[in-house]
Every structure is written in C-alpha cells, then in structure tokens.
Amino acid sequence: MILSLFDLDNTLLDGDSDYSWAQHLIAVGILDAATYEAENERYYRDYQAGRLDIHAFLSFQLAPLARYSLAQLEAWRAEFLESKIKPMILPEAANLVRERLDRGDRVAIITATNAFITRPIADLFGVEHLLATEPEIIAGRYTGKTLGTPCFQSGKILRLEAWLAGLGMRLGDFEESWFFSDSRNDLPLLGAVTHPIAVRPDPVLREHAERAGWPIISLRGED
C-alpha cells in the first residue's frame, strides 16, 4: 500500500486558510481590525520564518471560537468556504489528490490549521482522513483550548504515528510514503517519508530540497 500525505495551506490551496479565517472574521465585523489584523500578520510572518510559537498562536487563533455558539460559527464558516476557500483551491492540486485516491493510496491531509476550519476543506478535496490541530469542545461549545499535540513541525510525525497506530500500522509498513509540502516547518515529516516533494517551497525548504535532491514542483499551472 502507498501512503500519500498532503499539507494544506500554500500546498493544496493558493493561500493560507488559518490567516484567511481571521481576515474573514475581521471583514464581517467580528474582530477588531486595528488590533487583530496586526497580530494575525505578525503570527503569519513568524510561521513563514519558522519561528512560530504554536501555543501562543493557538491561544490567539482559537479564542474567537469560544465566544460564539457552534451554530453561529458554522454559519460564518460556510460564508468563509464560499468566499475565501473555494477560490483558493488549485485545480492541479485537486487533480493530484483525486489521482492518488483513485489509484487506491491511503490519502490524508495533515495540517497545523485547526480542524474546525479544515474538516470541510478536506471534504471539498474528497479526503476522508484529516490530521489537524484539534480544538477542544465541551457541551457543544469550543473552549479556546486544544486537545493533544498540535499538528505542527515534529508534532505532525507524532500525530501521524498515533493515527497509523490506531489502524494497526506504522509508517514503515507502507511500500511508499509521499508527503507534499511548501514549508520549512514540515522538514521533520518530509525527512521521514520515502518520497518528500517540495511544492513551490519557501526559501529554506527549497535550499534543503536542492541539496537533498528532492523533487520540486508547482501545482499552480503557470509556474
């Protein structure tokens, strides 16, 4: 069996769903633009630079979920999927995922972005298996906290191992394992699979991929 893993933001999507969700909440007047937008931009720059404090970011990013009912959050999310996410879906990326599903690979999207945002995005790609940072929910409301290990950097390996263990499998059981990602933050997992693929990579990942002889591709058509 072959395992095909896909990062989400700036890999399958032409943009970052985490960042865009906050911008959407600002646009609909839920968050104060003057304060929240600057913080959102700062955390995004830290992520791009590979220095993100994931726990501080999650406290910031999940806090709005705790302020509103699940029904209201889902309504805003539906608007977000239509206005922000669907235009970000890269046709070549969707085709690649479909090819891997059709040939019988075990396919999963593995992302640091929380599951409230990313579960319906994985559904848009037709992917059942999602490994994402899990926000805590109690009595039908989000608490603003996370469950377990954030699915970020080396945490992606831990989350992958736990998922596979639940299936009675290990990474080494697959004849091939593929991981497609754009980000230096995914170097731990890229180094653990048999076929690491750099997708329009950031400068640090590009340098590493070139040095290691990893394939470098784009899913944006014009590149």
pLDDT digits (tens, 9 = 90+) for 104-115: 999 999 999 999
CA pair distance 70, 206, nearest whole angstrom: 40
Check if 9 is active-site: yes
Residue 222 forms part of a structural domain? no
Residue 47 forms part of a structural domain? yes
Residue 132 forms part of a structural domain? yes
Residue 133 forms part of a structural domain? yes
Residue 6 pLDDT exceeds 80: yes
Residue 223 forms part of a structural domain? no
- Assign residue 121 the CATH number of its domain: 3.40.50.1000
- 200 close to 220: Cβ distance less than 8 angstroms: yes
Check if 7 is active-site: yes
Residue-level pLDDT at 179? 98
- 62 close to 144: Cβ distance less than 8 angstroms: yes
pLDDT digits (tens, 9 = 90+) for 107-147: 999 999 999 999 999 999 999 999 999 999 999 999 999 99
Query: Around 200, how many Cα atoms within 13 Å sit in the side-chain half-sphere?
Result: 18
- The string over 117-154, giving b where at least 16 C-beta atoms fall within 10 Å of a residue's C-beta and e elsewhere, is bbebbbeebebeebbbbbbebeeeebebbbeebbbbbe
Residue 114 forms part of a structural domain? yes
For residue 103, give its domain range: 2-217
Question: What are 74's two structure tokens?
Answer: 């889902």
Residue 13 pLDDT exceeds 70: yes
Question: Of the listed 7, 16, 105, 182, which one is catalytic?
Answer: 7
Q: What are the angstrom distances between the C-alpha of 35 and each of 25, 41, 51, 112?
A: 13, 10, 21, 24
Residue-level pLDDT at 222? 60
Our count of domains for the chain comes to 1
Question: Of the listed 9, 16, 105, 202, which one is catalytic?
Answer: 9
pLDDT digits (tens, 9 = 90+) for 20-76: 998 999 898 888 888 888 888 898 899 888 898 989 988 888 988 999 999 999 999
Residue 124 forms part of a structural domain? yes
